[in-house]
């Protein structure tokens, strides 16, 4: 022990005590998904506080020279618990009564109990030092090491801090209307029971408006149940903002909804407001479920969405390489589904998994913050099979067919950091996350293989002026095909009409409406809706120098190796309330899009005269400010948009009309400089001088990685005030201009011969036949993308497999007609 004491004394200066703000990784390995519960436990560096599994701790020691690690092992205590009290002596598990996590009455967080053992391990010989051993060592050694141990054990781990352990969904804000709510003296008095909707006589889901006392039914739910929207319609007609749900009033309070604030709210003057209409809170009893109870019921019924989750079938659990489940970290099923699909694609496997040893060897000192390392860690965790075992042999699996799986906490934290939505534990849109992740891959793959190229393709838009019959061609890059859902093309129209007739009869009779059948839409109709010409009624034609009608057709200028199709199920009703289209689409297993290949300019076809594109503030060209179409600017301003934003919209769309300008506005409303003054060329830098605005090196690298030269990327960024998204749009709409640029990269002089020039600029896209086969799809359950649940189905070795978070099973009836995102791969000819 004297020898060990001497070693500790020699490394004492490297043993730190955690301070506030230090990131302590004591629950998860930085390079794998090993935890203190894993075989071999977890080793926490007592200097950097990074955690490493037994497989990687040696690597960290050799690379850094650190010798002292705190070895943490946890063993799960055996805990038998039965919801109906099996006689174990423990109380039965209580059902949640509160829409919350980690507080009394809410949903439980993990309740496992562990026996924990800690000791110091000294490398390279792995000499172990227990607390009892430390007691026999010199005071200076014992005190310093014990301070570090106690500090590490007391500190919150990063994963624990990031995981929402306590969340209360019932915390409501006081309504801004409550304090000064005006109530009409109309003599209305509400009886304590026997309520009916004053419009349709419905007797449930009733809301009383707190301004005029009107009793009306609530909103209609996505499945046709609920009310008939009469309370909402009353607000839209009168503007009276607050309503209380009858049947939820008790001496403790009631459900109050603010239509203007679009949320459940608090009304501190509720007793007074109810008394105005003859309601005494102290004598009322609850007769209906509150909105919270309804939400809790939905959260408990996730397993009842039988079709998509195949819950009605006894599914065979699967495990092994490529069949690893993922823990749901709290509404992270959208992330789980997307990455499960991505890591079946060879490009992502080759980039991040095949050379994982090289990636880990080159990882920075803090690999938890490195994008490439964490993506490689995730891919290896999913494909290696190390974390995929027979769930029947694992006592920690909650259900017989649930794996323990991997918990992508570090990955989720890294890809969501700084993002207003993905950094939260709220449910998100899987399509938006897919694009967000592809964007991160683009930014982090400035050299070498870029796996997002597997999805990248070019779209050609052809606009034909109907007055002059002259055409204009533009190209843009895209990653996802968005298919519209033409509801008027349903093949079961008669069944839908009959259901609507029965619903109207039920509404008139004041009885609950019958279920609404699912509309059946042919996939061919969706594809036709995508490819059919779109009429532009307010197109400014450069040929006739006035506004006229034009048609726009969209075609594929290239076909990607992997095609992603999004079914546009989410839309807005006439009242601008978001809703999900309940449709069944016969999505095919094979797909031939060859007929949608773009053909470019046709023989004998005349092109529209070039509208002067947004000029560039370049040091070698003097340009004049363009004349903006004032009528379009005025139209946009009348819609309520800022003047400068309207001027930018007209400017950046080249005076091409209100439709194009409106599209620009909707696509740039979140830009930080949306309402900033439009700086016209020549106004901020004189001819022959260098523009004062610097160009972001990160943005330059991103555009260059797409196949453009540095000069071209610089020009695009300067033309768009250094905004990356706008620069990418600009560069694809100015390919003709860019082709004439002299490229001076790579040491080549500007006066190089024509034969030595690079090929015409453009994005680095792959192209090939437009024939595909379906290999995966992601399905969504719920009323909107912001709630509900996602699962994915992936075809592996000709067998469909369902990935439902930790549950990985052979699929018996893959619901291919109910998907949201579909993934196809090119069929080799």
Among 174, 168, 167, 169, which Cα is nearest to 256's? 174
Pairing of strands 562-567, 481-483: parallel
Reported as half-sphere exposure (CB side, CA atoms, 13 A), residue 428 has a value of 26
* Number of Cβ atoms within 10 Å of the Cβ of 711: 17
Interatomic CA distance for residues 105 and 82, integer angstroms: 18
Q: What SS3 state is found at 431? A: helix
Query: Binding site residues for Zn(2+), as ranges?
Result: 197, 200, 217, 230
520 phi, psi to nearest 5 deg: -105, 115
**Contact between 632 and 638 (Cβ < 8 Å):** no
Distances (CA, A) of 762 to 1, 675, 683, 707, 770: 68, 31, 30, 6, 20
333 CB neighbour count, 10 Å cutoff: 26
**Residue 532: closest CA among 517, 552, 515:** 552
Instruction: Tell me whether residue 789 is one of the annotated catalytic residues.
Output: yes
Residue 310 and residue 3: Cα distance in Å, rounded?
62
Please spell the DSSP secondary structure of 189-207, one letter per residue: ---SS----TTT---SSEE
Nearest residue to 165 via CA among 114, 101, 112: 101
> Would you list which residues are annotated within the binding site for substrate?
207, 219-222, 257, 259, 262
Positive/negative CA dihedral, 715, 721, 724, 726: negative
How buried is residue 456: exposed, middle or buried, by Cβ count under 10 Å (0-12/13-18/19+)?
A: buried
**Residue closest to 476 by CA, chosen among 826, 769, 763:** 763
Say if residues 516 and 582 touch (Cβ distance below 8 Å).
yes
Q: Decide if 445 is catalytic.
A: no
Please pick, among 29, 789, 792, 809, the residue that the annotation labels catalytic. Answer: 789
Which residues are annotated binding-site positions?
197, 200, 207, 217, 219-222, 230, 257, 259, 262
The neighbouring-strand residues paired with 493 are none
Residue 233: half-sphere exposure toward Cβ, Cα within 13 Å: 14
Alpha carbon distance 115, 107 (integer Å): 24
Choice among 29, 45, 333, 465 that is catalytic = 333
Catalytic annotation, residues? 333, 789
């Amino acid at each position: 022990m004297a020898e060990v004491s001497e070693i500790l004394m020699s490394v004492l200066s490297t043993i730190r005590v955690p301070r506030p703000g230090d990131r302590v990784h004591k629950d998860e390995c930085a390079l794998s998904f090993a935890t203190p519960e894993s075989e071999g436990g977890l080793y926490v560096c007592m200097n950097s506080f990074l955690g490493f599994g037994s497989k990687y701790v040696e690597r960290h020691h050799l690379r850094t020279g650190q010798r002292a690690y705190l070895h943490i092992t946890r063993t799960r205590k055996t805990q038998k618990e039965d919801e109906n009290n099996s006689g174990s002596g423990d109380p039965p598990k209580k059902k949640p009564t509160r829409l919350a996590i980690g507080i009394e009455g809410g949903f439980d967080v993990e309740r496992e109990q562990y026996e924990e053992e800690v000791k110091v391990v000294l490398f390279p010989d792995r000499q172990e030092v227990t607390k009892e051993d430390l007691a026999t060592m010199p005071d200076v050694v014992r005190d310093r090491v014990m301070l570090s141990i106690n500090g590490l054990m007391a500190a919150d781990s990063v994963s624990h801090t990031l995981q929402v352990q306590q969340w209360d969904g019932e915390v409501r804000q006081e309504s801004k209307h409550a304090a000064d709510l005006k109530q009409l003296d109309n003599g209305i008095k509400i009886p304590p029971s026997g309520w009916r909707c004053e419009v349709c006589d419905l007797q449930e889901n009733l809301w009383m408006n707190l301004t005029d006392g009107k009793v009306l039914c609530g909103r209609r739910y996505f499945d046709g149940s609920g009310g008939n929207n009469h309370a909402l319609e009353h607000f839209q007609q009168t503007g009276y903002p607050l309503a209380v749900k009858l049947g939820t009033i008790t001496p403790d309070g009631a459900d109050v909804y603010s239509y203007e604030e679009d949320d459940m709210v608090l009304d501190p003057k509720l007793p007074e407001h109810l008394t105005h209409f003859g309601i005494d809170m102290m004598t009322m009893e609850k007769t209906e479920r509150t909105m919270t109870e309804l939400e809790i019921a939905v959260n408990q019924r996730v397993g009842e969405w039988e079709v998509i989750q195949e819950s009605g079938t006894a599914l065979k659990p699967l495990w092994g390489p490529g069949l690893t489940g993922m823990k749901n970290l709290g509404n992270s099923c959208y992330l789980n589904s997307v990455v499960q699909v991505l890591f079946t694609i060879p490009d992502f496997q080759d980039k991040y998994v095949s050379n994982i040893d090289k990636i880990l060897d080159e990882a920075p000192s803090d690999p938890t913050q490195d994008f490439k390392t964490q993506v490689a860690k995730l891919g290896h965790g999913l494909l290696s099979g190390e974390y995929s075992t027979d769930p029947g042999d694992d006592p920690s699996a909650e259900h017989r067919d649930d794996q323990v799986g991997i918990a992508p906490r570090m990955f989720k934290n890294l890809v969501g950091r700084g993002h207003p939505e993905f950094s939260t534990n709220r449910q998100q849109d899987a399509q938006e996350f897919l694009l967000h992740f592809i964007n991160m891959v683009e930014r982090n793959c400035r050299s070498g293989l870029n796996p997002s190229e597997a999805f990248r393709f070019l779209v050609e838009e052809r606009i034909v002026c109907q007055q002059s019959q002259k055409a204009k061609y533009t190209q843009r890059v895209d990653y996802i095909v968005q298919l519209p859902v033409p509801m008027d093309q349903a093949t079961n129209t008669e069944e839908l009409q009959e259901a609507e007739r029965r619903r109207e009869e039920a509404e008139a009779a004041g009885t609950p409406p019958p279920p609404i059948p699912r509309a059946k839409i042919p996939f061919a109709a969706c594809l036709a809706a995508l490819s059919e010409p779109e009429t532009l009624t307010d197109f400014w034609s450069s040929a006739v120098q006035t506004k006229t009608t034009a048609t726009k057709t969209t075609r594929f200028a290239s076909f990607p190796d992997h095609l992603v199709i999004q079914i546009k199920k989410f839309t807005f009703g006439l009242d601008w309330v978001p809703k999900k289209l309940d449709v069944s689409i016969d999505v095919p297993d094979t797909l031939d899009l060859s007929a949608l290949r773009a053909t470019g300019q046709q023989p004998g076809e005349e092109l529209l005269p070039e509208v002067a594109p947004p000029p560039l503030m370049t040091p070698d060209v003097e340009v004049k400010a363009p004349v903006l179409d004032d009528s379009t600017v005025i139209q946009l301003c009348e819609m309520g948009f800022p003047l400068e934003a309207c001027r930018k919209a007209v400017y950046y769309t080249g005076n091409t009309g209100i439709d194009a300008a409106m599209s620009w506005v909707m696509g740039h409303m979140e830009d930080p400089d949306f309402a900033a003054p439009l700086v016209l060329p020549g106004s901020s830098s004189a001819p022959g001088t260098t523009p004062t605005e610097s160009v972001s090196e990160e943005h330059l690298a991103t555009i260059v990685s797409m196949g453009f030269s540095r000069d071209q990327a610089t020009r695009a960024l300067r033309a768009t005030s250094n905004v990356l998204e706008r620069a990418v749009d600009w560069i694809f709409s100015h390919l003709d201009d860019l082709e004439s640029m002299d490229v001076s990269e790579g040491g080549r002089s500007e006066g190089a011969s024509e034969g030595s020039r690079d090929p015409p600029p453009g994005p680095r896209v792959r192209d090939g036949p437009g024939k595909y086969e379906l290999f995966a799809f992601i399905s969504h359950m719920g009323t909107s993308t912001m709630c509900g649940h996602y699962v994915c189905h992936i075809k592996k070795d000709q067998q469909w497999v369902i990935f439902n978070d930790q549950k990985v099973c052979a699929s018996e009836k893959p619901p291919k007609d109910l998907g949201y995102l579909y993934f196809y791969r090119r069929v080799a000819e």
